[in-house]
């Protein structure tokens, strides 16, 4: 259906327009769709054309894609999802993503190398426990562990065994994806029993106190603004609180969040919003208000590597694109390694 829309309505509307003018092309598609959330033509159909036009334009100018998207030259720090839970895995872990972030890496190559060494140790630890080392949707392991803390402790042990210091060289980041847990205004983060949102905040603070966790994504349901605001107010200023389902890469929702001081970082998923122009607008708005941007894949993703170039071009601080398995995840890391090579001495890596 998406391809049919591209080959008929969309191509008819765009024929004769220049690929030089990304904003115009995106505007035509937004108007052609005519709905608030691109549900008529579909965000994936529109986005494929939006990104394809930028790529074609870069090729016709014979320049690298990231140079065609923006002026940035910063490699993002990877957030690697190395244990998958929630709806991304067939296990009982309630938190969806357990990630590692090599905070002190001086190059992107070093960042990937550090994560690789930790992942190898994690694999050994999991198989020594006679648990499965098969992977989930985003390429992280999906062992049957009894609770969130078991997964975190296993990751800490792997960081130590790989010769790094947890919380200093490598920190732990979580994506709770609380929308999936939220039922009847209650959360069930820690057990099968639902608990109140106050208790959920308390649970997070206990976790942060006990473990080297530096970032939590989607700790609350997307409409539970109050809990988001409370949590942001009481957390340390340098603790990263990321809105994914909260903001859905949407300018209006981010504007509201900035005004209310909910979260301090935003996950950027181009297909949540549907065009490159709108994606970049949201990134710029976030940066203007000192919100960090984390460019992200989807759990169901393709081998397309556009997000790697997007992260560099926009000087985004981090990228979230799974573990070092499954080629649709590895493709993005490989692209970033090539960009770093190409940039040579002018390459910088982001600070988190
Ligand atoms: P997705 O989730 O399954 O919606 O792509 C990824 C995420 O929550 O970050
Ligand atoms: Zn998320």
Q: pLDDT, tens digit, for every residue of 226-254?
A: 999 999 999 999 999 999 999 999 999 99
Nearest to 95 by CA among 172, 154, 180, 170: 180
More confident residue, 25 or 196: 25
**Mean pLDDT computed over every residue of the chain:** 95
Rounded distance between C-alpha atoms, residue 89 and residue 64, angstroms: 36
Is residue 279's pLDDT more than 90? yes
Scored b (16 or more CB within 10 A) or e, 261-296 reads ebbbbbbbbbbbbbbbbbbbbbbebbbeeebbbbbb
Active site residues: 138, 269
Quick one: pLDDT band at residue 181, thresholds 50, 70, 90?
A: confident
Q: For residue 185, is pLDDT > 70?
A: no
Q: Please say if the pLDDT value at position 184 is more than 70.
A: no
Q: How far is the CA of 298 from the centre of ligand 1 (A)?
A: 5
Per-residue pLDDT band at 284 (split at 50, 70, 90)? very high
Q: How far is the CA of 120 from the centre of ligand 1 (A)?
A: 24
pLDDT tier at 192 (50, 70, 90 boundaries)? very low
Closest-lying ligand to the alpha carbon of 81?
Answer: 1
Query: What's the mean pLDDT in 290-319?
Result: 98
**Predicted pLDDT of residue 88:** 85
3-state DSSP of the chain = CHHHHHHHHHHHHHCCCCCCCHHHHHHHHHHHHCCCCCCCCCHHHHHHHHHHHHHHHHHHHCCCHHHHHCCCCEECEEEEEEEECHHHCCCCCCCCEEEEECCCCCCHHHHHHHHHHHHHHHHHHHHHCCCCCCECCCCCECCCCCCHHHHHHHHHHHHHHCCCCECCCEEEEEECCHHHCCECCEECCCCCCCECHHHHHHHHHHHHHHCCEEEEECCCCCCCHHHHHHHHHHCCCCCEEEECCCCCCCHHHHHHHHHHCCCCEEEECHHHHCCHHHHHHHHHHHHHCCCEEEEECCCCCCCCCHHHHHHHHCCCCEEECCCCCCHHHHHHHHHHHHHHHHHHHHCEECCC
Q: What share of the chain has pLDDT > 70, as a percent?
A: 97
> Which residue's CA is the nearest one to ligand 1's atom 5?
298
pLDDT at 268 over 50: yes
- pTM of structure: 0.96
- Give the tokens for residue 217: 């994504």
Which of 87-101, 299-313, 321-335 has the lowest average pLDDT? 87-101
Other CB atoms within a 10 A radius of the CB of residue 343 amount to 18
CA-closest residue to ligand 1 atom 8: 177
pLDDT confidence tier of residue 89, bands split at 50, 70 and 90: confident
| Least trusted range by pLDDT, from 106-110, 169-173, 200-204, 306-310 | 200-204
Dihedral sign, Cα of residue 286, residue 333, residue 123, residue 86:
positive
Ligand 1 pocket check: which of 84, 86, 296, 328 to mutate, most ligand atoms within 8 Å of Cβ? 296
- Predicted confidence band of residue 196 (pLDDT cuts 50, 70, 90): low
Look at residues 5, 6, 46 and name the one whose alpha carbon lies nearest to residue 26: 46
> Which contacts qualify for 104-110: CB closer than 8 Å, 24 or more apart?
104/168, 104/169, 105/77, 105/349, 106/349, 107/75, 107/340, 107/347, 107/349, 108/75, 108/76, 108/78, 108/336, 108/337, 108/340, 108/347, 108/349, 109/337, 109/340
Mutate to test the pocket of ligand 1, among 84, 95, 96 (most ligand atoms within 8 A of CB): 96
Best residue among 244, 295, 318 to mutate for probing ligand 1's pocket (most ligand atoms within 8 Å of CB) is 244
Residue 199 confidence (pLDDT): 82
Is any atom of ligand 1 closer than 6 Å to the C-beta of 244? yes
Tokens standing for 285?
């708005």
Query: Which tokens belong to 307?
Result: 């997000």
Instruction: Identify the residue whose C-alpha is closest to ligand 1 atom 3.
Output: 299
Report CA dihedral (199, 168, 108, 116) to the nearest 10 degrees. -80
At 121-164, the pLDDT tens digits run: 999 999 999 999 999 999 999 999 988 999 999 999 999 999 99
CB distance 224 to 254 below 8 Å? no
CA-closest candidate to residue 313, choices 76, 55, 60 = 76
∠ CA 69-14-271, rounded to 5°? 50
User: How far is residue 290's CA from residue 282's CA, in Å, rounded to a whole number?
Assistant: 12
């Amino acid at each position: 259906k998406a391809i049919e829309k591209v080959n008929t309505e969309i191509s008819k509307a765009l024929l004769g327009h220049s690929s030089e003018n990304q904003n115009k092309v995106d505007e035509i598609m937004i108007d052609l769709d005519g709905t608030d959330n691109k549900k008529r033509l579909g965000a994936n159909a529109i986005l494929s054309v939006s990104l394809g036009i930028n790529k074609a334009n870069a090729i016709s100018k014979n320049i690298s894609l990231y140079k065609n998207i923006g002026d940035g030259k910063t490699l993002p720090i990877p957030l690697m999802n190395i244990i998958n839970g929630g709806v991304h895995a067939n296990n009982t872990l309630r938190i969806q993503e357990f990630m590692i972030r090599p905070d002190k890496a001086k190059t992107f190559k070093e960042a990937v190398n550090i994560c690789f060494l930790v992942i190898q140790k994690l694999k050994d630890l999991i198989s020594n426990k006679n648990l499965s080392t098969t992977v989930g949707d985003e390429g992280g392991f999906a062992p049957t562990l009894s609770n969130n803390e078991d997964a975190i402790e296993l990751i800490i042990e792997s960081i130590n065994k790989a010769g790094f210091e947890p919380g200093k060289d490598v920190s732990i980041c979580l994506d709770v994806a609380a929308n999936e847990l939220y039922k009847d205004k209650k959360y069930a983060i820690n057990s099968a029993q639902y608990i109140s949102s106050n208790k959920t905040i308390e649970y997070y603070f206990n976790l942060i106190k006990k473990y080297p966790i530096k970032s939590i994504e989607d700790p609350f349901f997307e409409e539970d603004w109050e809990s988001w605001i409370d949590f942001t107010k009481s957390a340390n200023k340098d603790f990263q609180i990321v809105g994914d389902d909260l903001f859905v890469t949407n300018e209006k929702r981010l504007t509201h969040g900035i005004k209310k001081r909910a979260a301090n970082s935003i996950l950027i998923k181009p297909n949540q919003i549907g065009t490159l122009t709108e994606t970049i607008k949201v990134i710029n708005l976030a940066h203007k208000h000192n919100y960090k941007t984390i460019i992200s894949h989807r759990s169901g993703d393709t081998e397309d590597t556009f997000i790697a170039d997007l992260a560099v071009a926009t000087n985004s601080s981090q990228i979230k694109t799974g573990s070092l398995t499954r080629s649709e995840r590895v493709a993005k890391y490989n692209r970033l390694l090539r960009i770093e090579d190409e940039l040579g001495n002018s390459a910088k890596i982001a600070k988190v």
